Structure 1
Amino acid sequence: MAELIKDKGTLRNVESLAARLRRRQVSGAHDTAVETVLLLRQVVSTARFSSIEQLLSMLKSVGTRLVAAQPKEIAVGNMVRRVIHQVREEYLANTGGTDPSQRPATMVRSNTIGAMSTPDGSALSIANFVLLGRPRTTARPPREVEADIGDVDRRSMATKPALIAAVQEIVDELETVFEGVAKNAKNHIHADEIVLTIGYSRTVEAFLKAAAHDKKFTVIVAETAPSHTGQQLAAKLSQHGISTFLVPDSAIFAMMSRVTKLILGAHAVLADGGLVAQAGALAAAAAARAHATSVIVCAAQYKFAPLWSWSVEGAGATDYGDPDSVLGYDEGELVGSVEVVNPKYDYVKPEFVDVIVTNYGDHPPSYVYKLVKEMYEDENLE
Structure 2
Amino acid sequence: MAPSQAGHVPTLDNLIKSFNDLPLEASMDSLIFLLKRRQIKGDDCAKATAHFLRHVVAKSKWTSVNHLIEQVRSYGTRLAQAAPLEPVIGNVVRRVLGLIRDEAAEDRNADDVASETASDIQDIQSLAPGAPPPQPLQRATTASPVRPTLGSITSGLLVSNSMFNLLSVAEPLGSPLTGASTPMSSALHASVHALRSEVMDGIEEILDEINQADDQIAGFADIQIHPGDYVLAYQPTKTVERFLIKAASKRRFTLLLAGLQVPDPSAEPPYAALRKRLAAAGVQTINLASNGLMAYIPRVNKVIFGAKAVYQNGGLLVDSGCCVAAQAAHEYLKPVIALCPVYKFTPEDPSNEVVRGELGDPSSYVSYANGPAVDLLDIENTVTDYIPPELVDVYLTNLGPQTRHHLASILADHYKTEDIAFSLQFDEDS
Q: TM-score, normalised by structure 1?
A: 0.79
Q: Do 1:194 and 1:259's aligned partners in 2 also have CA atoms closer than 8 Å? A: yes
| 1:191-210 pair list within 5 angstroms | 191-210=227-246
> Which whole-Å deviations, capped at 9, do the CAs of 1:211-234 have from their partners, x for residues lacking one?
111221000011344789995336
| SS of structure 2 residue aligned to 1:357 | strand
| Aligned with 2:270 (options 232, 238, 243) | 232
| Aligned with 2:217 (options 163, 181, 201) | 181
1:96 is displaced (CA, Å) by 1.8
Q: Which residue of 1 aligns with 2:75?
A: 62
Residues 97, 356 of structure 1: alpha-carbon distance in 2 compared, 3 angstrom cutoff? farther
Q: Which residue of 1 aligns with 2:93?
A: 80
Q: Do 1:205 and 1:233's aligned partners in 2 also have CA atoms closer than 8 Å? A: no
Q: Which residue of 2 aligns with 1:278?
A: 319
1:373 is displaced (CA, Å) by 2.3
Q: Which residue of 1 aligns with 2:144?
A: none
Q: Which residue of 1 aligns with 2:12?
A: none
1:265 is displaced (CA, Å) by 0.7
Distance in 2 separating the partners of 1:152 and 1:54: 21
| Aligned with 2:25 (options 1, 5, 11) | 11
Distance in 1 separating the partners of 2:189 and 2:370: 66
| Aligned with 1:322 (options 348, 361, 381) | 361
Instruction: Extract unaligned runs of 5+ from structure 2.
Output: 1-20, 113-182, 424-430
Structure 1 position 33 matched with structure 2 position 46: yes
Residues 300, 98 of structure 1: alpha-carbon distance in 2 compared, 3 angstrom cutoff? farther
Larger Cα Rg: Structure 1 or Structure 2?
2
Q: Do 1:86 and 1:166's aligned partners in 2 also have CA atoms closer than 8 Å? A: yes
1:264 is displaced (CA, Å) by 1.2
Q: Which residue of 2 aligns with 1:259?
A: 300
1:23 is displaced (CA, Å) by 1.1
| Aligned with 2:405 (options 350, 362, 366) | 366
Q: Do 1:51 and 1:153's aligned partners in 2 also have CA atoms closer than 8 Å? A: no
1:319 is displaced (CA, Å) by 1.6
Instruction: Extract unaligned runs of 5+ from structure 1.
Output: 1-6, 100-146
Q: Do 1:204 and 1:265's aligned partners in 2 also have CA atoms closer than 8 Å? A: yes
Distance in 2 separating the partners of 1:377 and 1:227: 46
Q: Which residue of 1 aligns with 2:180?
A: none
| SS of structure 2 residue aligned to 1:330 | coil
Residues 216, 159 of structure 1: alpha-carbon distance in 2 compared, 3 angstrom cutoff? same
Structure 1 position 222 matched with structure 2 position 258: yes
1:312 is displaced (CA, Å) by 5.0
Distance in 2 separating the partners of 1:21 and 1:329: 27
Distance in 2 separating the partners of 1:174 and 1:279: 24
Range that drifts further, 161-170 or 304-313: 304-313
Structure 1 position 172 matched with structure 2 position 170: no
Residues 323, 162 of structure 1: alpha-carbon distance in 2 compared, 3 angstrom cutoff? same
Q: Do 1:222 and 1:230's aligned partners in 2 also have CA atoms closer than 8 Å? A: no
Residues 237, 152 of structure 1: alpha-carbon distance in 2 compared, 3 angstrom cutoff? same
Q: Which amino acid in 1 is paired with 2:78?
A: R
Q: Which residue of 1 aligns with 2:34?
A: 20
Structure 1 position 243 matched with structure 2 position 284: yes
| Aligned with 1:331 (options 370, 380, 398) | 370
1:263 is displaced (CA, Å) by 0.4
Distance in 2 separating the partners of 1:380 and 1:227: 44
Distance in 2 separating the partners of 1:194 and 1:230: 26
Distance in 2 separating the partners of 1:55 and 1:343: 39
Q: Do 1:269 and 1:305's aligned partners in 2 also have CA atoms closer than 8 Å? A: yes
> Which whole-Å deviations, capped at 9, do the CAs of 1:23-71 have from their partners, x for residues lacking one?
11211x2111000100000011113322111111110000011011110
Residues 155, 261 of structure 1: alpha-carbon distance in 2 compared, 3 angstrom cutoff? same
| 1:68-107 pair list within 5 angstroms | 68-96=81-109
> Which whole-Å deviations, capped at 9, do the CAs of 1:84-113 have from their partners, x for residues lacking one?
1122212322442779xxxxxxxxxxxxxx
1:151 is displaced (CA, Å) by 8.9
1:330 is displaced (CA, Å) by 1.2
Q: Do 2:32 and 2:82's aligned partners in 1 also have CA atoms closer than 8 Å? A: yes
1:335 is displaced (CA, Å) by 1.0
1:155 is displaced (CA, Å) by 1.9
| SS of structure 2 residue aligned to 1:195 | strand
- Equivalences, count: 325
Q: Do 2:319 and 2:384's aligned partners in 1 also have CA atoms closer than 8 Å? A: yes
Q: Which residue of 2 aligns with 1:114?
A: none
Residues 177, 248 of structure 1: alpha-carbon distance in 2 compared, 3 angstrom cutoff? same
Q: Do 2:111 and 2:188's aligned partners in 1 also have CA atoms closer than 8 Å? A: no
Q: Do 1:227 and 1:325's aligned partners in 2 also have CA atoms closer than 8 Å? A: no
Percent identity of equivalent pairs:
31
Distance in 2 separating the partners of 1:256 and 1:273: 24
Residues 65, 269 of structure 1: alpha-carbon distance in 2 compared, 3 angstrom cutoff? same
Q: Which amino acid in 2 is paired with 1:70?
A: A
Q: TM-score, normalised by structure 2?
A: 0.71
